[in-house]
Amino acid sequence: MSDESNNTGKSKSYNDYDNLLETARDEIPDEISEHDRFEIPDLDILQEGNTTIFRNFNDVADQINRSPEKFLKFLLGELGTAGERENGRVVFKGKINSSKIKNKIEDYVEKYVLCPECGRPDTRLVKEDRVDIIKCDACGAHGPIRGKQSKSTSSPKSERIEEGEIYELMIQDIGREGDGMAKKGGYTIYVPGTTKGDKVKVRINNTTGNLAFGTVVDK
C-alpha cells in the first residue's frame, strides 16, 4: 500500500476520533464546559475568644452548590463541635485550626460534590427510594453516595486505559446520544454501535480525564 493511502487512512481515523470526542463534548451544557478546574475559595477564618468564625461560609456553600444547612451539619459532625449560621458566616464553639476545617471541607467535596466517574463538580444530590444519589450533569453518571476513597495522583498502571490498546468490555448502559457505555479502571468508555449487555472488544481511540472513546474491533 502506498504512503499516500496510509496517510489517508490515518487522517480518516483521526477525524473519526475527533468527531466522536466533539459529539460527547456537545452533550455537556455550556455552563459546564466553561469550567477549567474546580477550586474552593480561600477560607476566611478567625478566632475570637473561645469561638472560631468562618466568615465566608455562604460563599463556599454557593461555590460547591450544596445546601448550607446540610453542609454545616456535616462540618459540625466532623469537627465534633457546635455552631450556628448568622449573616452568611458560621460561628463554631471552641478554637478550631483553619487547616482542620479546610481538610473537612475537602472531604465533603470529595464525597458529596465531585463526580466519582469524571471528577467534575457539576453534580446534584437527589433522593431515590430514601437513598442519597449523586447525579452528574457533565458525564451523565449517577449512583449512591460513596464513602471517602484514598486520594492518589495517578491510577495504578493496571487500571489505566491506554489509547490504542484493545480491551474486552461489557456494555452496561446507553448514553444520551445512544452510544454504549462501559466501565473499566475508573473510566467511563463510550462505544458507538453497541447496546446494553453486549460483550465486545474495543480499541481505545482517545481519552480525556476519566472518559474514553473507542470502537468495536470484534463483536
Judge whether 202 lies within some domain: no
User: Both 59 and 102 in a single domain?
Assistant: yes
Judge whether 211 lies within some domain: no
**At 62, which CATH number?**
3.30.70.3150
User: Both 123 and 85 in a single domain?
Assistant: no
User: Both 99 and 84 in a single domain?
Assistant: yes
pLDDT of residue 30: 47
Q: Note the pLDDT tens digit of each residue in 131-141.
A: 778 888 888 88
User: Both 125 and 84 in a single domain?
Assistant: no
User: Both 91 and 128 in a single domain?
Assistant: no
User: Both 84 and 51 in a single domain?
Assistant: yes
User: Cell triple for residue 133?
Assistant: 444519589
Task: Give the 3-state DSSP-derived string for 96-160, with helices as H, strands as E and coil as C.
Answer: CCHHHHHHHHHHHHHHHCCCCCCCCCCEEEEEECCEEEEEECCCCCEEECCCCCCCCCCCCHHHC
Judge whether 77 lies within some domain: yes
> How many domains does one find in the chain?
2
142 contacts 135 by C-beta, under 8 angstroms:
yes
Rounded to whole angstroms, the Cα distance separating 139 from 211 reads 8
Rounded to whole angstroms, the Cα distance separating 171 from 210 reads 17
Judge whether 162 lies within some domain: no
Q: How many residues does the chain have?
A: 219
pLDDT of residue 15: 57
pTM score, whole prediction: 0.53
User: Both 71 and 95 in a single domain?
Assistant: yes
83 contacts 95 by C-beta, under 8 angstroms:
no
User: Both 62 and 85 in a single domain?
Assistant: yes
Judge whether 213 lies within some domain: no
User: Both 127 and 102 in a single domain?
Assistant: no
Range of the domain at 84: 45-112
Judge whether 216 lies within some domain: no
Percent of the chain scoring above 90 in pLDDT: 37
Residue 16 has pLDDT above 70, yes or no: no
User: Both 77 and 132 in a single domain?
Assistant: no
Judge whether 161 lies within some domain: no
Domain end marker among 112, 134, 163: 112
Which carries the bigger pLDDT value, residue 11 or residue 211? Answer: 211
Judge whether 186 lies within some domain: no
pLDDT of residue 105: 94
